[in-house]
């Protein structure tokens, strides 16, 4: 089944898929630092197309005003996870013993569609449109997050350790058979 990026603004289902996959990726987060160490959390990753773009009438392309909110969410979940593990989270690198830099290699959703039936038809000859006649349809959404954490000494900036890569996924699939019979399949805890 071919995969494509969703072309609409992020829906509630997409948001739930992404947040769940981030939590799953960071659920096994553990770092080889002394407990009660003070850690500053930083996050880095590729800019996504979901970043806020500012365009004026004179500009042809626009500019990105701020980093993606997705990376901010990853930072906040990593901060909460390290806090739950007993680390003290500092606000700036000057007051911390260590720096944990979360490197996000991938964060996003893919969508795939399988359809068998007749698509909607608009005709010039007849004054009304024929609706879609679905014999079988499957719409799949998959969220994928892949990240790792680099650890640095907060005073010297010396590299200490890199963690294994963690992956988190979540899916939400919708099915339709014979026009009216529909159901969903998902691994979300509280699906919409």
Residue whose C-alpha is closest to residue 191's, from 177, 172, 168 = 172
Largest CA distance in the chain: 77
The partner residues of 130 in beta bridges, in order of sequence, read 121
Asked whether residue 53 carries a pLDDT value surpassing 50, the answer given is no
Do 175 and 184 touch, CB atoms closer than 8 A? yes
Query: Which tens digits make up the pLDDT trace of 81-129?
Result: 988 888 888 876 667 789 989 999 988 888 888 888 888 888 777 777 7
Query: Which tens digits make up the pLDDT trace of 151-174?
Result: 998 888 899 999 999 999 999 999
Task: Give, in order, the Cα–Cα distances in Å from 3 to each of 20, 31, 127, 134, 150.
Answer: 20, 35, 35, 20, 31
Domains and CATH numbers, the chain: 3-186 (3.40.50)
Cα–Cα distance, 146 to 131 (Å, whole number) = 40
DSSP 10-24: PPHHHHHHHHHHHHH
DSSP state of 128: S
Q: Which pLDDT belongs to residue 4?
A: 54
pLDDT band at 57 (very low <50, low <70, confident <90, very high): very low
E strand map for 72-130: 88-90, 98-118
The gap between the terminal CA atoms of the chain, to the nearest Å, is 24
Asked whether residue 65 carries a pLDDT value surpassing 70, the answer given is no
Task: Give, in order, the Cα–Cα distances in Å from 86 to each of 30, 41, 118, 142, 153.
Answer: 11, 14, 58, 32, 18
pTM of this prediction exceeds 0.85? no
How many C-beta atoms surround the C-beta of residue 103 within 10 A?
17
């Amino acid at each position: 089944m071919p995969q494509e990026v969703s072309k609409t603004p992020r829906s509630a289902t997409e948001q739930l898929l992404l947040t769940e996959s981030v939590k799953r990726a960071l659920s096994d987060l553990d770092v080889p630092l002394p407990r009660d160490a003070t850690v500053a959390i930083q996050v880095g990753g590729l800019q996504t197309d979901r970043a806020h773009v500012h365009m004026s009438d004179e500009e042809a392309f626009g500019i990105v005003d701020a980093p993606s909110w997705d990376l901010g969410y990853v930072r906040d979940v990593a901060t909460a996870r390290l806090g739950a593990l007993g680390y003290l989270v500092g606000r700036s690198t000057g007051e911390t013993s260590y720096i944990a830099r979360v490197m996000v290699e991938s964060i996003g959703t893919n969508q795939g569609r399988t359809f068998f039936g007749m698509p909607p038809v608009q005709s010039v000859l007849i004054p009304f449109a024929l609706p879609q006649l679905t014999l079988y349809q499957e719409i799949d959404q998959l969220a994928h997050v892949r990240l790792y954490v680099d650890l640095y000494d907060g005073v010297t900036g010396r590299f200490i350790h890199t963690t294994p890569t963690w992956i988190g996924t979540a899916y939400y699939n919708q099915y339709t058979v014979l026009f009216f019979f529909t159901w969903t399949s998902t691994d979300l805890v509280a699906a919409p």
